[in-house]
Chains A and B, each alone.
Chain A
C-alpha cells in the first residue's frame, strides 16, 4: 500500500479552504512516503466539473476520484473513500479540521478497523510511515502517535494544514462508481447552508470584541457593540451563543465559523475551548475577560483580566472613548 487519500468538500462551485489545506498536506507527505496524492470529491457531477476537479492538481493532487453521491453528509463519503482505499490501496486517509472531516474520518475508522488520531496539528514522514502530533488535555501536552498497520486515519485540527499551491498541472479525474450502503441512504439533506441573522463582516476588522456564553444573555452583546464602536472594531461571537440565537452566524469564530487574525482580539466571557481557539489564535494581541480564573483562554491570552465583565466592559468602553477623544 502507498499514497495518501484526502477528501475535498465543495459548496457553490468552490472547494473548502480546510480541504485544500488537507490536499496540500497530503500531496507533500505523499512525495515523502511515495505513492499517489489522491483526493475524493463527492456530489452532483454538474457542479463537480472536470475543470473544477482538475484545479486540485495545483495543490499537488495527482488523482481526483469523483463520485456522484449526496454531498454534505458523512456516510456517502465513507462509502466512496472505503471503496477507493480497497481498490487502490492507499496507506492513509487525511482530513482537514471541518465537521464533516470528523464524521467521515470516524466512520472510515470503524469501517476499516483503522487507527485514528484527531485534532492533529502536524504530520511527519518517518521511515516510509506517518507520525501524527496531537495536542491533548486542553493543549497542555502533545503526543506523537504512530499507526500500527494500514490504513491509518488522520483528522487534522482546523487550519492545521496550510494551503500551498505547488504549481503542478491539472490532476487526472477518475470516475468512481459506488453502491452506497443501505444505512448511508437513510439520512437526507433537506436544507443546506441556511444563514441565520444579519450578514456582518468580521474578517476585515483590525479589532474584534468577541462575546461568549459568559455574557449571560443576548442583551450582553450590547456592551460588546458599545466597546467595539469605541475602539473602531467589529463584534464577533462563539458558536455557543450563535447556536443559542444571541448573535448572527456570520460573526462566528471557530471550527464551523470564521478564522480571524486581527491586531487585537478582546474576548469577553469566552472560556477558550479548542474549537474557538483554532479560529483566533493567530491574533496579534489577545485580551481576555473572564470571571473564572481557570478558564483555558488565560493560557493563551497576552493580557487576562479575572473579573466581572458586566462591570469591566462598560467602564472600559468609556475609558477608551475618553482616551481616543483626548
Chain B
C-alpha cells in the first residue's frame, strides 16, 4: 500500500500574527513551520506502516506552496516519510480552497495512493475543508476529524466525534482521511532522521508537470474575491494578571469575582 500525506507550511504559532493597521494587510513575516496537525497525519501513516496489518511500501509527503515550503517536507521526511513531492508554481499563488484541492488532487492522481492522510485543520485557516475537496476530485470516500483509525482487508474503520456523539464509520480503500490531534502523539524526529532528511528524494513539480489546467488555479482561477479587510468589532481588552505571588493573585481573582457578585 502507498500512503500519501498532505502537509502544509504555516506561520509558527509562537509568532504573533497581526494585521498592519496602516496598510490593512496581514503581516506574513516571521518563522514558518510544519502545520502541527499534519504531524499527527504523518504519525498515523507511520503507525499503519508499523502496525503490520497491511504492507506499506512507502509514505509520500506532498505539499503545495512557495519555494520555502520544502522545509515542511524536510520535517515530514524526518518524521518518517520516505520521499516527498513539492508542487510549486507562480501560477498557483493566490489559489482558493477549491483550486488548491484540485491542484493537490492532480498530484495525487499521478501517485494513485490507497490512502491519503492530512491534518484536520491548518493553523492558518482553511479548517476542515481541504480533505473533502481533494476526495471529491479523486472520487474517493472521505472522513474528517478522525480520532481512531484501523486498517484491514481493504477497508478502514474510523471513529470521530460528530454532532450527536461518537460515530464509527467504515470506508473502503482508497480513501481520504483527515485526522484530529487526539489520534496519536507524534514522535520526535531523531537527530539521525533530521540529518538524513535532506538525502531522501524530493521531487519538485510545476503546475504543468502535474497536468494542472492553469485557468483553474491561482488568483485567476479563484471563485471568490476579497472586497475588504477590516479589524474585528472592538472588544474591550480584559485585565491581565501575571502570577508572581500566587496568594496575591488568588486574592485579586476573588476580589474581581466578588465585585461582579459571582460568589454570592
Given that A139-B232, A144-B227, A194-B168 are contacting pairs, would A115 and B240 also be in contact in the complex, using a CB cutoff of 8 Å? no
User: Would you call B16 and A116 a contact (CB within 8 A)?
Assistant: no
Answer yes or no: A294 CB below 8 A from chain B CBs: yes
In the assembled complex, the CB of A187 is this many whole angstroms from the nearest CB of chain B, namely 4
Q: Which of B98, B141, B227, B230 contacts A114 (CB 8 A)?
A: B98
User: Would you call A249 and B166 a contact (CB within 8 A)?
Assistant: yes
User: Would you call A312 and B225 a contact (CB within 8 A)?
Assistant: no
Given that A103-B144, A143-B228, A316-B254 are contacting pairs, would A137 and B246 also be in contact in the complex, using a CB cutoff of 8 Å? no
Tally of A-B Cβ pairs under 8 angstroms: 281
Answer yes or no: B56 CB below 8 A from chain A CBs: no
User: Would you call A298 and B240 a contact (CB within 8 A)?
Assistant: yes
Q: How large is the interface on B (under 10, 10 to 19, 20 to 34, 35 or more residues)?
A: 35 or more
Question: What residues of B have a CB within 8 angstroms of the CB of A323 in the complex?
Answer: 254, 258, 263
Answer yes or no: A46 CB below 8 A from chain B CBs: no
Using a CB-CB cutoff of 8 Å, which residues 106-156 of chain B contact chain A? 124-137, 139-145, 147
Answer yes or no: A198 CB below 8 A from chain B CBs: no
In angstroms, Cα B235 to Cα A73, docked, is 38
Consensus secondary structure, chain B interface: mixed
User: Would you call A256 and B254 a contact (CB within 8 A)?
Assistant: no
In angstroms, Cα B249 to Cα A169, docked, is 57
Answer yes or no: A31 CB below 8 A from chain B CBs: no
Answer yes or no: B192 CB below 8 A from chain A CBs: no
In angstroms, Cα B19 to Cα A120, docked, is 19
Q: Which of B131, B141, B243 contacts A312 (CB 8 A)?
A: B243
In the assembled complex, the CB of A234 is this many whole angstroms from the nearest CB of chain B, namely 14
| Residue total for A at the interface (Cβ-Cβ under 8 A) | 98
In angstroms, Cα B228 to Cα A187, docked, is 40
In the assembled complex, the CB of B87 is this many whole angstroms from the nearest CB of chain A, namely 17
Nearest opposing residue in chain B for A195, CB measure = B165
In angstroms, Cα B130 to Cα A188, docked, is 21
Interface residues of B (CB under 8 A from A): 14, 16-19, 26, 96-98, 101-102, 124-137, 139-145, 147, 157, 160-172, 175, 180-182, 216, 222-232, 235, 238-243, 246-247, 249-251, 253-254, 256-258, 260, 262-263
Can you list 27 pairs linking A and B with CB atoms under 8 Å apart?
A100-B162, A103-B142, A106-B132, A114-B223, A118-B128, A119-B127, A141-B231, A145-B224, A145-B225, A146-B225, A183-B139, A186-B171, A192-B167, A195-B166, A240-B181, A263-B262, A264-B260, A285-B260, A302-B239, A304-B240, A305-B253, A306-B240, A306-B241, A308-B243, A312-B249, A312-B253, A316-B253
